[in-house]
Structure 1
Amino acid sequence: MTRTAEVRVQARRRYRRARDYLAAAMIHLKDNVLLDRPLRRKLLKPRPLGHWGTCPCLPLVYSGLNRLVAGTGWRTLLVAGPGHGAPAIHANLWLEGTHARFDPALSLDAAGLAELVRRSSWPGGFPSHLSPEVPGVIHGGELGYALATAFGAAFDDPGLLVACVVGDGEANTGPTAAAWHSPKFAGPRDGRVQPRI
């Protein structure tokens, strides 16, 4: 491996560790987000909301799509269906500076990080699922509608690649079952959806 390739691999690993830590912090912590003091029970959320199991997976799709966009310029949309996987998407939005661009209180520093963690799944903050007030989100977070939303976006804009991650909870719903039939209505000029469960 060349030195340049090794540096890129190390940078990706650091980024992955940072976003995984941020997702875990948003699920569990109320304060002390830099862990610069001993961790105490009073610094933990009394009832964590979120599923860690979806948090390492969603950023892999997110990062892969970002590489596709950076390499090709292809207009792409990710519809993330796993309801409580929002911390994973918030972590990416914060690290890339998107949150700070729309809300200066979520700046790329310790204060912005503390505010991001404080708001996550907390009254007056972000809900435990993705919701339309999050930059770039068109799906409201209710279980079962991610795939239908993805097909609607693709049919509306045929030049758009729509990637959809269907969560396990929503895979058992009627709207998702019906949405699997959407390709039957697609014509040669309609957009395409890449669903993954």
Structure 2
Amino acid sequence: MFGSMKNCNIEQEQYMAVEISTTRVSATAHPLSIQEIRQSHDAELDDIARFRRVTNYLTAAELYLKSNVLLQQPLKPEDIKDRLLGHWGTSPGINLIYAHLNHLIMRYDIDMFLVTGPGHGAPANLANLYLEGTLHDYYPELSFGWEGLEKFVRRFSWPGGFPSHLYPGVPGTIHEGGELGYALATAFGAAMDSYTSTATRSPIPPFTAP
């Protein structure tokens, strides 16, 4: 937890203004409306929303397309991958968490890492790693150009490419697979190993029993 809100009154849409840093949390006495909060952070929220839209599109493209990744031509059956692996349902949630946590990390210099619990959510993780440039550091051929984008999308769940789950070839991976039990055990051990860090688990996908 980075902070807490006191005296919240959801019906009146009033919240305490919270100033967050890595060392302290302080609350002002002046309640702010949701509209005021949105106005003061409009540019940041817009950037995060645009980032999420791009990662959601990249995720869907990874799952379904092997060519024509920006749909510059009418979609044809031969553009679709022969075998579809990976889960779309869990991916927007991962992209939501990833985008907002990245924003917090960059803004407040927080020592944090994300442990992904939902199975077969790798396309979401890969989309974020590609868009932020981390993937290119380890796979230079996956550039931001047209050719690099085509290679990135086609490589997911493709022979010689990335599997539908996290594996050691994905930068930052500290556990194999994506099942919730493995993720919880890994997050627990990682947090105990480095108690100054914050370990955050991504949400469980709908209709998936823990």
Into which bin does the TM-score normalised by the smaller protein fall? 0.7 to 0.9
For the aligned residue pairs, the C-alpha RMSD in angstroms reads 2.2
8 Å contact kept, 2:48–2:99: no
Bigger Rg over Cα: 2
CA drift at 1:19:
0.8
TM-score for the superposition, normalised by structure 1: 0.79
Structure 2, unmatched stretches of 5+, are 1-35
2:103 is the counterpart of 1:71? no
Structure 1 vs Structure 2: percent identity of aligned residues? 49
Deviations 1:135-193 (A, max 9, x none): 11112015230000001111111111111136458854xxxxxxxxxxxxxxxxxxxxx
- C-alpha distance in structure 2 between counterparts of 1:3 and 1:67, whole Å: 17
Distance 1:7 1:71, change over 3 A: closer
- C-alpha distance in structure 2 between counterparts of 1:165 and 1:14, whole Å: 20
Amino acid aligned to 1:56: P
Deviations 1:53-101 (A, max 9, x none): 1111001111121122112212111010112111111111111111111
Give secondary structure in 1 for the equivalent of 2:200: strand
Deviations 1:120-141 (A, max 9, x none): 0111100001112101111201
8 Å contact kept, 1:78–1:162: yes
Equivalent residue number for residue 191 of structure 1: none
- Give the one of 175, 195, 204 matched to 1:158: 195
Amino acid aligned to 1:113: L
- C-alpha distance in structure 2 between counterparts of 1:76 and 1:46, whole Å: 38
8 Å contact kept, 1:83–1:167: no
8 Å contact kept, 2:121–2:178: no
- Give the one of 81, 86, 94 matched to 1:50: 86
Which 4+ stretches in 1 moved above 2 angstroms?
Answer: 1-14, 165-172
Structure holding more helix per residue: 1
- Give the one of 87, 96, 99 matched to 2:132: 96
- C-alpha distance in structure 1 between counterparts of 2:69 and 2:142, whole Å: 14
TM-score for the superposition, normalised by structure 2: 0.75
- Give the one of 10, 13, 16 matched to 2:52: 16
- C-alpha distance in structure 1 between counterparts of 2:73 and 2:165, whole Å: 29
Structure 1, unmatched stretches of 5+, are 173-197
